[in-house]
Every structure is written in C-alpha cells, then in structure tokens.
Chain A
Amino acid sequence: MDEWKPNPAIKPHKKRSWYLAWKYKLMNQRALRKLCQTGAVLFLLVTVIVNIKLILDTRRAAYEEEEESAQDYDDEMLNVEVPRHPVSNKKVLDVEVYSSRSKVYVAVDGTTVLEDEAREQGRGIHVIVLNQATGHVMAKRVFDTYSPHEDEAMVLFLNMVARGRILIFTIKDEGSFHLKDTAKNVLKSLGSQVAPFLSWRDMWTFVGKKGGEVYGEKHAKSPALSTWGDPVLLKTEVHLTSVEDAECHWPDTELNRRRKRFCSKVEGYGSVCSCKDPTPIEFNPDPLKDNEVFDVPVAVIAGNRPNYLYRMLRSLLSAQGVNPQMITVFIDGYYEEPMDVVELFGLSGIQHTPISIKNARVSQHYKASLTATFNLFPDAKFAVVLEEDLDISVDFFSFLSQSIHLLEEDESLYCISAWNDQGYEHTAEDPSLLYRVETMPGLGWVLRKSLYKDELEPKWPTPEKLWDWDMWMRMPEQRKGRECIIPDISRSYHFGIVGLNMNGYFHEAYFKKHKFNTVPNVQLKNVESLRKDAYETEIHRLLGEAEVLDHSKNPCEDSFVPDTEGRVYVMFIRMEQEADFTTWTQLAKCLHIWDLDVRGNHKGLWRLFRKKNHFLVVGVPASPYSSKKPTSVTPIYMEPPAKEEGAVAVPAVAAAEQT
C-alpha cells in the first residue's frame, strides 16, 4: 500500500517509469487481458439482460395478480355516488328575506332555507344563523315574542351564537308585544337601527354579522292598531370569509376534531363551541364499584329536539358508572342536528324512518328502538330506556346497580323505574328508600329482555293503532299484576317543555317541582325487602309502628300532619273497591301531586312524605291493609268536584301520558 501514497520526495520521472513498467507487464499478457475484457463485457451484458427480464417478469406477474385479485370481492351493488355539489368558491351570498303578516321566507343563493306560511303558526321573530365561511344554515329558531318570556329565550340564544356568524331576522304576524328592552338592546347591539322602535304589527327584516357589519335592514310600520305593516322584502349580499377565520384553533385531538365538526355545522350550544376554554365533551365520571349495570345497553329515544338531547346526553355521560359504549341513540326521523349531537359525544346513533303519525309514531319508534337494542346487544338481559328530555341523576347507575338483581330474580316485577310520579319537592325525602308500585312510571326505566321478547314485542300495537306505548304497557293485559320498583326521590328529571303531549303550563304544574336526586353514591337501604313477600312484611311493620292521624281534621291542611320530623303517620281514605279512586284523586289534587290518573299505589296504599314524616294513605275497605284501621276511625271521604270540571280533566289525562 505504501507505493500508492503520493510521496512528494519522489520525482515525477520515477512515477512515470513505474506506470510504463506496469503497462509493459500487462502488454505482455495480452491474451489474458483480452480474455478479461471480453469476460467483463459479457458479464455486464448478461447482467443487463437478466435485469431487464426480471423487471418485465415481475411487472407481468404483479399485473396478472392484481387483475384477478379483487373480482370476487366487489360490492355487488354499484355504489351510487351522490353527485356532490361542486364546492363553490363564491365569496358572496345573495340573501333574500321576506316578512309579512302571513308568510315569511329566507332564501340564500336562491335556495329557500325557511318558508312559513302556515296559518296560526310560526308567529314572532324567526332567526336563522349562517356559517360565515360556507353559508350553511347552522340554526333555525322562532321566538314567539308576542307571548311573554320568549324574548328572554331569544336573548339567551343570541348570546350563545359565536361571534362572526351571520344572523337573519324576520317577523311573521307580530313580534313586538312582549319584546322587552333587554332584547331590543341586544338587537341594537347587533347593529339594528330599527329594533329599539319596533312596535305592534310592524314588519321587519334584518341581516347582520354578529359583532360585525350590517348587511341590510328593512322595516314597515303598521299604520294602525288593527292592521299590519306592508310586507317587506330585503335583498342583500353577504361576503363570506375564509374557513380558517370561521373556526377556532383548538389543539388537534380526537375530541377537538369532533368538536370542530359539530361547531362548524350547528349553532346554539353555547360554550361547547367557544374558542377559549370550551366546555368539555368527555366527562370521565368516577367508575362504580361492583357495577352490575356496566354491560346493560342504554337506549336513548329521541326525536327532533337536539338541544334537549344535548342536555340529556351531558347529564347521562356525567353519571357515575356510565358506559358510553353501551349507549345507542335512536332518532325518530332523518334529522341531522340530533345526529350531530350524538356524534359530538362520540356515541352511536340510529335513525328511524317515521312510521304512522302522532302517538302511534312514537310507539313504533319505541318498538324499533327496543328491538334494535336487543339485536345489537344479544347478550343483554336488560335494557335501560331513556328519553331525550330527561336529566339523569349522578347516581342513576348506582341506583340501578344496587337494585337490578331484583328484576332478574323476582318474577312479580315488571320494571325498575327512576321516576316517582308522586315524588315532588314537598312529598319526597329519602334518597335511599325504594317502593313497589302497581303503575309503570317510565321516564328512565329498565326493561327485562324476556318480558320484551316473549310478551311485549309480538303483541306491540300496530302502526294503525293510535295508542301510547306506555298506556298500552300499563294495561292489565300486559302488566298482569306485576309491579315496578321506584325510588322515593327520582333519579331522572323531566325537563321537556315542548313535546307531543307537553306544553309550558302542563310542565309547570306537574313536572317542574319534581324532586331530583343530586347526591352521589347513595346506598339504598331496603333493597332486599322489596321482594314480593318481604315487602308485605315491611309494610305490615311500617303500619304497625305508624301513628294514626286525627281524621277529624282536613287532610288538605298543613296542620293535618303534626310538626314533627322522621315519624311515620297513617291516614285512611274511603275506597269502596279496587278501582275506586274518588277520594284519592281529591287528596292528590289538594296535596299538589299527580292527580291526572292514579299513580304510585300498591294494594290500595300510597307512600309519600309530608313535612319530612313518612305519610301512608290506606284505601278502606278495598286495601288488604284496611285491617290496620282502628275501629274508631272513619275513613275520610272527599267529594269529587262538579261534573264540568271532571269533563275538562279527561283530555288532560290523555295528554299527560306521553311526553
């Protein structure tokens, strides 16, 4: 190796001579050299040819392979791809807004996004929220500001809308009568010149960006009290912003991706879409120890009340021991927004083509949902059934976990329900107490699979029968004398104000004051004594220790029950036979509890609380507990009201059942 080193000491001449010597040497072996050269050439040529062949071979092999590989596995049905509208790069939206006495409409780029010309409907201020980047409708609301309190709801809604969204307002018929200054100021702050001066039967349209520019406003004054302002038509242009500007910059996580998808589609959910510090969409409540209901599927029955569903799912997912994988939301109809809410929370949702109308539609939706639930979870012995307008108590699953074995073991049970029909603020007291009742309360309940599959499903009311599913389930043919277990303090809260059989007045009267448990981890105390026979022993013990109240007093008066705490009292009312609820209904009425039909009874006995004392009501002589009545006591009889009132009550009963 040394010779190869360039040595500065050696003269060039010497180097050259070495080269010549080498060359000479090789020349001498000319034959060998030639052979080597030819060999090299040949070798290289062969390499080239082999390589080319290899390439061609693999190509062809791969090609043939691919050709035959997938044929069998083609989807037979050709996917009919819905032709997608080309994403328009248009930066300007044409918006048309019409306001008049009997009709309103809003058109965006020629597409009608709102049209309401129904009679006797849709009165008030219609609000539409558009995405400022895409122009999509994110929310549609109508606030009947002719009626009280609706303006407050509108303010609430407008405050929840994110900055930068495009807001469109239009009035149908009348929208100013109960539009108070607060609401007018909010409209003014959005840039409306007219809002502060809106008056009786004025027509008004307004398009503006929240926290930004105004795109147009038109107004027609009503000339006289008895007439309406002239129809107004506002045509304007809205400039779209870029998508980046319309979105928040949350950290890129799976949760935030869901949030982003949701927030770019819909509006009106407040802080969940706030750019700074958005409210969480994953809750991770404490797990339950020995959770017996972890594997029980939960079916959430929903319609098109996405805001309710949102509230409901929040409370459900915050309940201790919840297992989100077992939750399925069943949406009655192809509504997008409820599905968006379901996806926001990462749950699975199933849409159901509406069958039939009104009550029957609800009933068919229930059937489909229950069947689907047991199909999806074939291992399940039970299913929890919830509705979209319920708040779920933090210890809902704990309550079920402690009691569900009863439903499995006690054949005389029909369901476990989280709802006590008679559990109002003033009549429920003990979160650890359970009852057996002959009525089926619904509103958050557990259904046994065998009951559904063997008895209910095959006989379920068909679509042409306009029956309420829950009324049907309460019928003796179905219930067959079985009972439900309920808590004293409800584990669900019915907050729905709009619904098939629901209105604000009705809700205020019967649901608002309902007691709702907020204490976590309540240890139920009398679970074993809820079995069929044990419960009778328990009742006899209770009646044995109960003090008989003074039957000469008026049971409606507060003074009927002494000012004590923690005692057990009993009263006796007249109840000629099993179905005689005359006195009970009157008593329920004056106690301000559920009086529209009979609920919460067990063999002619009702259990509730008054002034923090356990208060028992026994119907004599129909109840088997009548024997506990001292002979000296005459059962109280209360007169039913005049016929007229009774007649009014009948439709109310029907209306009360399903909500």
Chain B
Amino acid sequence: MQKINKNAVLALLSLTSLVFLLFQLYYYKFYLSQKNGAVFSKVRGSQSGQDSTRWHVVRKFLGLLSSHNIPVYLIDPLILGLVDKDFEQIRSSPDSPSPECRYFCAPRDFTTFALLDKTWKHEVGLFRTAEKMGFQWLKIINKDPRLDGMDDLSGIEIPLHYIFKLASHAIHLVVFYERSGNYLWHGPLRLKQHMDRKFVPFRKLHFGRYPGAYEKPELLLVSIDDLKVQIPKNPSSFLEEMSHSRFLECRYREARAFFQLYPDDASLDAVEFRKKAKSLLHLAALTLNNLGVKFWLSSGTCLGWYRQCNVIPHSKDVDLGVFIRDYKADIIPAFQKAGLPLKHKFGKVEDSLELSFQGEDDVKLDIFFFYEEDDHIWNGGTQAKSGKKFKYLFPKFTLCWTEFVELKVHVPCETLQYVEANYGPDWKVPVKTWDWKSSPSNVQYNGVWPVDEWDDVIQIY
C-alpha cells in the first residue's frame, strides 16, 4: 500500500512538473511573440539572447527598408551616445568587421530611426512585406501642420510615427517633414482612442512627447556592429540639438478668431511694413545664428506671433531677446557688416544692456539682453534724455522652437506667461499707442544712471 502510494505521488509530481515545464515553454513563447521586451527584460534582466534579438530586429528592419529603397538614418539617443564615444574609430574604419556587438545589443526597448517624408512614397507594400517578416506595426497619423495655418483647408492626415515590433524589440520610425524656414519637423505622438495603448511602452519613447524642430542633418554612412547604417555626421551635436528640440505650433485657430474680431490691416503700408519686418528678421536671424548667439522673439514681435501668427503691422520695430550670458562683443560689428548700423546702445553688459540697429526705412531692430535671477528674469530699459532706468520682470522661461514668417526661431515655451507679464491680461486687445516706459504691466522704476556713466551707457548714433 505504501509502495503504491509513493509511486503514485512520484508519478503525480512528475506529471505536474511536466505540465509546468510545458506551460513554461508556452509562456516563454507567448512572451516572445506577444509582449514587448521591456517587461521581459525587466524581469529576466539582460541576457545574451535578448541582446542579439535587438541586433537581429534592427538588421531585419534595415533589410526591410532597403528592399523598398527607403533611406532612414539612426537617431536613437542611446546608440548615438555610445557611437559618439568611439566615433573616431567608427568613422575611420567604416568596413572593418566588429568583434562584438557593442551598440545594437545594448539593453533598451526601442531603436529609433528617422525618415524624411519626401524621400519615400507612402506605400502599402512596405507594410505587407513587414507583416510577412513577422513585424507588427502601428501608424500614428495626424493633421498636417503645414496646412494648419491656412483658412479652411482640410488636407489628408499625414503619418507622423511608425512603430514596428518584432519579438521583444521595437523600432520607432519618426517621420520628418520639411517646413518653410528650411528645417525639419516631427510631430507629437498622440494615440487615438481606438489605438492599442499597450502596443509598446510609449512612455519610454525618445521622440514624440512633443513635436520637435531640427536642422537638416548631414549624414554619414557607417558600419556599426556589421550593420550599414546612416547616422548624423556629428552625433554629439545632434544629441545636443535633440535636448532642445521642442517645437510650438503657432496658435492658428486663435489667430483666426483674433482676425474675426479685429480684421487684418491689408493696407499697402501694412503690407510693406510686414515685408520689411520679415526681411529684417531674416537678416537678424542669419547674423545671430552665424555668431552662435541664441535669441528669441520678444515684446511686440512675440505678441504678434502668439496672438496673430504674423507681424503686427502697427508695431514699428522687430524685438529680439538674448540672454546676457550669450552676449558677444562681435554682435555690433556683425550687424554693421550685414548693413544694419547701430542706432543706439543703452546700458552695459553688467546692467540693462539694450542694442538698437537701424534697418531699412525706419524699421528698427531692438535686441534686449535678459538677466537671470533666482526666481525671475529681467531686462532693462533706459530713457535717453533723463538717464532713468527701467526694469521689466518676467517669470522664468525656457526656449522652444517655432516657425514665424518662414523662419525657425525661438520663443519662450511659456509664452502665455511671458506675454501676460509684458502686456497684462488684456494682451488680446490691440493697442495702437504704446509707451514702453509706462504701458508694460511688468515695468519697474530702477533708478537713474550716474551722470558720469552717461557717455558709456547712453550712446545714440
């Protein structure tokens, strides 16, 4: 009796363990095919099988695209970061076989590639081949921002992101569009209601939380881990650019509403002024960019962008902001060289610096320098005849890209606070008479320049 019992127990346990073994195998398989690698790798930790999976997925994906003649380039910050460390070596020996998988096997959930929209046709064939190769894919489309600024055009929605998933790894393909202002733009990644929220851990994506603006990159064909792939020619500057790439779209809908209330000035004068302001802004942007001085739209120009997506025709100048830490002595000669003579200079580098340049036909370019304090940022103003100083206070802000009069420029990301600080809660109402000493709601009296400094801090040409 006892013997039988023991045998039975043994048999039962063997059976159970067999069942569990099968179950484990099934579960393993299920994981590989259904769930993303993130969960898996988190639990299991990194292991060599996983590493080579990533490499294989990337290889398959590159094969898929090259079979359809679609040129992509690598923008994955993780891999580019690794590549950047060994950049000299990679660049100098483009074809040498690599002894070990150092980049594409690095633990991560995604590999990110970029695709220029105009270099491919939105073809169905790609997805069919992808499916045949075992990829699952997700396409994120949205409105075309290039048509957003226009009244009542309803274009087709454009693809912004693709995600290809195979086994435990996913490829994030970001579609870049060329926009007016000679830059590249990628859209935000927003899931529509019916979409599978669990397709991949979207939070871990490096691109898509916000739209982004980039310069057109120069590309370099390299061989990384025995895979031929295009990467930005200068990975470190690309990574730097990426960290400040957030893009704000102009508020076209609000701008249209504004023009409903206050019809646009279509007089010849207004047209002319806008044209001049635009070319002055282009010239200023070119000059400052060449110097490597970061600037943003300030005061009236910023208000024009924010409120009506255009230059305010009754403003008489173009206003830019620059952080004082970015000040360079070359600024004045550079503008003079560009044909914009200095009109006046108020303040000094240590305090309330402000430069004005004379553009074509009375259109003036004002550059205000901003001083950062612990809890606010300010710029200064000076009244020439009395030597009075003024201070304009702003809450702290960061810089975002936007597009304005066919130019990629910076604006404060927290634009509303910035505009409200400057123009008060009624910024939506156009005001034709504006006194820079008293009208701004953030102005503070800041004393008087000592008379002996006047020659230095009040220069008028």
A residues near B (Cβ < 8 Å) are 37, 40-41, 44-45, 47-48, 51, 54-55, 57-58, 61-62, 65-66, 68-76, 78-79, 81, 254, 325, 334, 348-353, 355, 368, 371-372, 374-379, 453-454, 458-459, 462
In the complex, the answer to whether B203 meets A458 with C-beta atoms within 8 Å is no
In the complex, the answer to whether A58 meets B150 with C-beta atoms within 8 Å is no
In the complex, the answer to whether B192 meets A75 with C-beta atoms within 8 Å is yes
Quick one: which of B322-366 are within 8 Å of A by CB? Answer: none
Contacts of B192 in A (CB 8 A): 75, 79
Name the one of B10, B152, B274 contacting A353, with C-beta atoms under 8 angstroms: B152
In the complex, the answer to whether B152 meets A352 with C-beta atoms within 8 Å is yes
In the complex, the answer to whether A378 meets B180 with C-beta atoms within 8 Å is yes
In the complex, the answer to whether A375 meets B180 with C-beta atoms within 8 Å is yes
* Distance between Cα atoms of A325 and B122 in the complex (Å): 10
Contacts of B6 in A (CB 8 A): 37
The answer, yes or no, to whether B436 is at the interface (CB within 8 Å) is no
Name the one of A44, A47, A54, A378 contacting B182, with C-beta atoms under 8 angstroms: A378
Quick one: which of B22-69 are within 8 Å of A by CB? Answer: 23-24, 27, 31, 35, 38-40, 42-43
Contacts of B198 in A (CB 8 A): 66, 69-70
What 16 new A-B contacts, CB under 8 Å, besides A44-B16, A374-B180? A41-B9, A41-B13, A47-B17, A48-B16, A48-B20, A58-B43, A69-B204, A70-B203, A71-B203, A73-B202, A73-B203, A350-B156, A353-B153, A355-B151, A372-B153, A375-B179
In the complex, the answer to whether B209 meets A72 with C-beta atoms within 8 Å is yes
In the complex, the answer to whether A61 meets B121 with C-beta atoms within 8 Å is no
Name the one of A58, A79, A351, A375 contacting B146, with C-beta atoms under 8 angstroms: A375
* Distance between Cα atoms of A66 and B200 in the complex (Å): 8
In the complex, the answer to whether A348 meets B181 with C-beta atoms within 8 Å is no
Contacts of B202 in A (CB 8 A): 69-70, 72-73
In the complex, the answer to whether B17 meets A350 with C-beta atoms within 8 Å is no
Name the one of B10, B150, B178, B197 contacting A378, with C-beta atoms under 8 angstroms: B178
* Distance between Cα atoms of A74 and B190 in the complex (Å): 5
Contacts of B9 in A (CB 8 A): 41
- Tell me the nearest residue of chain B to A346, going by C-beta: B121
Q: Which 9 A-B pairs have the closest CB atoms?
A: A353-B152, A70-B197, A75-B190, A378-B180, A69-B201, A375-B146, A66-B198, A44-B13, A350-B155
In the complex, the answer to whether B193 meets A75 with C-beta atoms within 8 Å is yes
Contacts of B204 in A (CB 8 A): 69
Number of interface residues, chain B, beta carbon within 8 A: 60
In the complex, the answer to whether A51 meets B193 with C-beta atoms within 8 Å is no
Contacts of A458 in B (CB 8 A): 271, 274-275
In the complex, the answer to whether A78 meets B193 with C-beta atoms within 8 Å is yes
Contacts of B268 in A (CB 8 A): 459
In the complex, the answer to whether B197 meets A66 with C-beta atoms within 8 Å is yes
11 residue pairs A–B, Cβ–Cβ below 8 Å: A37-B10, A58-B43, A69-B200, A349-B156, A351-B153, A368-B153, A372-B146, A378-B146, A378-B181, A454-B275, A458-B275
Name the one of A71, A372, A454 contacting B150, with C-beta atoms under 8 angstroms: A372
The answer, yes or no, to whether B450 is at the interface (CB within 8 Å) is no
- Tell me the nearest residue of chain A to B20, going by C-beta: A51
The answer, yes or no, to whether B191 is at the interface (CB within 8 Å) is yes
Name the one of A44, A62, A349, A459 contacting B39, with C-beta atoms under 8 angstroms: A62
- Tell me the nearest residue of chain A to B142, going by C-beta: A75
In the complex, the answer to whether B271 meets A350 with C-beta atoms within 8 Å is no
In the complex, the answer to whether A61 meets B39 with C-beta atoms within 8 Å is yes
* Distance between Cα atoms of A75 and B125 in the complex (Å): 28
CB distance from B132 to the nearest CB of A (A): 15
- Tell me the nearest residue of chain B to A68, going by C-beta: B203
The answer, yes or no, to whether B440 is at the interface (CB within 8 Å) is no
The answer, yes or no, to whether B290 is at the interface (CB within 8 Å) is no
Question: Given A47-B20, A375-B146 in contact, is the A351-B154 Cβ separation under 8 Å?
Answer: yes
The answer, yes or no, to whether B189 is at the interface (CB within 8 Å) is yes
* Distance between Cα atoms of A254 and B121 in the complex (Å): 13
The answer, yes or no, to whether B211 is at the interface (CB within 8 Å) is no
Contacts of B107 in A (CB 8 A): none
Question: Given A58-B31, A374-B180, A378-B180 in contact, is the A48-B153 Cβ separation under 8 Å?
Answer: no
- Tell me the nearest residue of chain B to A339, going by C-beta: B156
Which one of A54, A68, A73, A81 has the highest number of Cβ atoms from chain B below 10 Å of its Cβ? A73
Summarize A's interface: helix, strand, loop or mixed: helix
In the complex, the answer to whether B156 meets A61 with C-beta atoms within 8 Å is no
CB distance from A183 to the nearest CB of B (A): 40
* Distance between Cα atoms of A57 and B123 in the complex (Å): 41
In the complex, the answer to whether B191 meets A70 with C-beta atoms within 8 Å is yes
* Distance between Cα atoms of A61 and B150 in the complex (Å): 46
Contacts of A379 in B (CB 8 A): 178, 182
CB distance from B304 to the nearest CB of A (A): 15
* Distance between Cα atoms of A69 and B208 in the complex (Å): 13
> B105-135 toward A: CB 8 Å interface, digit per residue (1/0)?
0000000000000100101110000000000
The answer, yes or no, to whether B147 is at the interface (CB within 8 Å) is yes
In the complex, the answer to whether A368 meets B150 with C-beta atoms within 8 Å is yes
* Distance between Cα atoms of A51 and B201 in the complex (Å): 25
* Distance between Cα atoms of A450 and B17 in the complex (Å): 78
The answer, yes or no, to whether B1 is at the interface (CB within 8 Å) is no
In the complex, the answer to whether B193 meets A79 with C-beta atoms within 8 Å is yes
* Distance between Cα atoms of A329 and B219 in the complex (Å): 33
Contacts of A55 in B (CB 8 A): 27
* Distance between Cα atoms of A261 and B338 in the complex (Å): 58
The answer, yes or no, to whether B451 is at the interface (CB within 8 Å) is no
Contacts of B153 in A (CB 8 A): 350-353, 368, 372
Contacts of B266 in A (CB 8 A): 459, 462
- Tell me the nearest residue of chain B to A349, going by C-beta: B156
Contacts of B181 in A (CB 8 A): 378
CB distance from A224 to the nearest CB of B (A): 52
In the complex, the answer to whether B35 meets A62 with C-beta atoms within 8 Å is yes
In the complex, the answer to whether B178 meets A58 with C-beta atoms within 8 Å is no
* Distance between Cα atoms of A54 and B124 in the complex (Å): 41
Quick one: which of B164-215 are within 8 Å of A by CB? Answer: 178-182, 189-194, 197-198, 200-204, 208-209
Contacts of B156 in A (CB 8 A): 348-350
* Distance between Cα atoms of A396 and B12 in the complex (Å): 84
CB distance from A25 to the nearest CB of B (A): 16
* Distance between Cα atoms of A37 and B10 in the complex (Å): 8
The answer, yes or no, to whether B217 is at the interface (CB within 8 Å) is no
* Distance between Cα atoms of A282 and B307 in the complex (Å): 46
CB distance from B210 to the nearest CB of A (A): 10
- Tell me the nearest residue of chain A to B6, going by C-beta: A37
In the complex, the answer to whether B203 meets A372 with C-beta atoms within 8 Å is no
Name the one of B17, B149, B182, B193 contacting A375, with C-beta atoms under 8 angstroms: B149
Contacts of A44 in B (CB 8 A): 13-14, 16-17
- Tell me the nearest residue of chain A to B155, going by C-beta: A350
* Distance between Cα atoms of A371 and B204 in the complex (Å): 38
* Distance between Cα atoms of A41 and B125 in the complex (Å): 56
Contacts of B38 in A (CB 8 A): 65
> B133-147 toward A: CB 8 Å interface, digit per residue (1/0)?
000000000001011
* Distance between Cα atoms of A71 and B204 in the complex (Å): 12
CB distance from B37 to the nearest CB of A (A): 11
Name the one of B20, B23, B150, B208 contacting A73, with C-beta atoms under 8 angstroms: B208
* Distance between Cα atoms of A262 and B23 in the complex (Å): 50
CB distance from A281 to the nearest CB of B (A): 15
CB distance from A363 to the nearest CB of B (A): 13
In the complex, the answer to whether B39 meets A73 with C-beta atoms within 8 Å is no
CB distance from A336 to the nearest CB of B (A): 13
Quick one: which of B292-331 are within 8 Å of A by CB? Answer: none
Name the one of A40, A78, A350 contacting B154, with C-beta atoms under 8 angstroms: A350
In the complex, the answer to whether B147 meets A353 with C-beta atoms within 8 Å is no
Contacts of A350 in B (CB 8 A): 147, 153-156
* Distance between Cα atoms of A462 and B264 in the complex (Å): 11
CB distance from B28 to the nearest CB of A (A): 10
Contacts of A334 in B (CB 8 A): 154
- Tell me the nearest residue of chain A to B191, going by C-beta: A73
Contacts of B20 in A (CB 8 A): 47-48, 51
* Distance between Cα atoms of A48 and B23 in the complex (Å): 11
Name the one of A71, A254, A368 contacting B152, with C-beta atoms under 8 angstroms: A368
In the complex, the answer to whether A61 meets B42 with C-beta atoms within 8 Å is yes
